[in-house]
Amino acid sequence: MGDAPLRVMISGAPAAGKGTQCASIVEDFGLTHISAGDLLRAEVSAGTPAGKRASEFMTAGKLVPNEVVVDMVVGALSSGEAARRGWLLDGYPRSPEQAQAIDRAGIRPDVFLLLNVPDDALVARVVGRRLDPVTGDIYHLTFRPPPTEVAPRLVQRSDDTEEAVRTRLATYHANLDAVLGFYPDQIVQIDGARSMPEVYADIRAALDAAVASKALRVAAA
Ligand code: AP5
């Protein structure tokens, strides 16, 4: 991607398909994937002070306090690898305060992908989700059944309960408009209620266009 690596944010309700689509984006565009949820789950597994603080909020489906999340994400975005390869920021910012914090650090995306999925489809996605702890692959018992050989080792996330999802959804909807207000010229709305390949085809087209227009701007500079 030469001198102008792409910077992408991906947002959407819980279980809208962000992680699933990020895997394809990383494969095709080589961006550094920074998932706020994955960073937090790694801290929880490692039993760090930040992880201990985050754990109860995550299980309840509430936002983890900014003093735990913001520096973690800014640190990941500031890595040499993210600067060199470009980045794909997943699950951040989730509030205007979080958007403000990275804005102040001069961090803005070229594209803000917004995956739109109606709430009633999301509960089914959450309840059927299973994760492979070895590869990190995301499956769904109905929509993306796992191969038989990996099925026995799959796990469910502790916040994939109907109650926690309702809290996660309410928080998402309460903050969405304020977060979108930071990126009026970067938002690309994607209909996430279709099949995984159909959703990805639109994402890929949007990112191809962004890469081309960035390359033109760099060439003209
Ligand atoms: P996080 O891990 O970011 O969770 P989330 O936003 O709720 O999103 P999910 O990971 O649940 O879903 P996804 O959109 O990635 O969907 P997936 O691809 O897996 O955050 C977890 C928690 O961490 C938060 O609740 C909070 O506590 C904390 N946190 C994180 N970021 C924070 C922040 N910035 N500030 C404060 N706290 C923060 O797909 C879901 C399922 O659907 C899968 O089974 C998949 O196979 C299936 N699926 C995917 N696409 C399709 C499709 N097109 N059709 C049918 N099925 C599909």
C-alpha 16 – ligand 1 centre gap (Å):
6
- Rounded CA separation 37/97 (Å): 17
- The ligand 1 site (C-beta within 6 Å) comprises 12, 14-20, 36-37, 40, 57-58, 61-64, 69, 91-92, 94, 98, 125, 128-129, 138-140, 143-144, 159, 168, 195-196, 199
Residue 154 CB partners (closer than 8 Å, separation 6+)? 130, 131, 132, 133, 139, 146
Strand 87-90 relative to strand 7-12, pairing: parallel
* Ligand 1 atom nearest to CA at 128: 44
Q: What percent of the chain has pLDDT over 70?
A: 99
Examine the residue annotation and report whether 214 is marked as an active-site residue of this protein: no
pLDDT higher than threshold 50 for residue 1: no
Segment 141-159 mean pLDDT: 96
pLDDT higher than threshold 90 for residue 183: yes
If you average pLDDT over every residue of the chain, what do you get? Answer: 95
pLDDT higher than threshold 60 for residue 24: yes
Across 97-182, the runs of DSSP E, i.e. the strands, are: 111-116, 129-131, 138-140
Residue nearest to atom 23 of ligand 1 (CA): 37
**In the prediction, which pLDDT does 3 show?**
62
**In the prediction, which pLDDT does 162 show?**
86
Segment 127-148 mean pLDDT: 96
Residue closest to 44 by CA, chosen among 127, 140, 125, 157: 157
Least confident of 53-57, 122-126, 213-217: 213-217
Q: What is the pTM of this model?
A: 0.95
Segment 164-185 mean pLDDT: 95
Superfamily of domain 7-220: P-loop containing nucleotide triphosphate hydrolases (3.40.50.300)
Annotated active-site residue in 157, 166, 194, 204: 157
**In the prediction, which pLDDT does 214 show?**
86
- Rounded CA separation 151/131 (Å): 10
Q: From its phi and psi, is residue 8 left (phi > 0), alpha (psi between -120 and 50) or beta?
A: beta
Examine the residue annotation and report whether 94 is marked as an active-site residue of this protein: yes
Examine the residue annotation and report whether 18 is marked as an active-site residue of this protein: yes
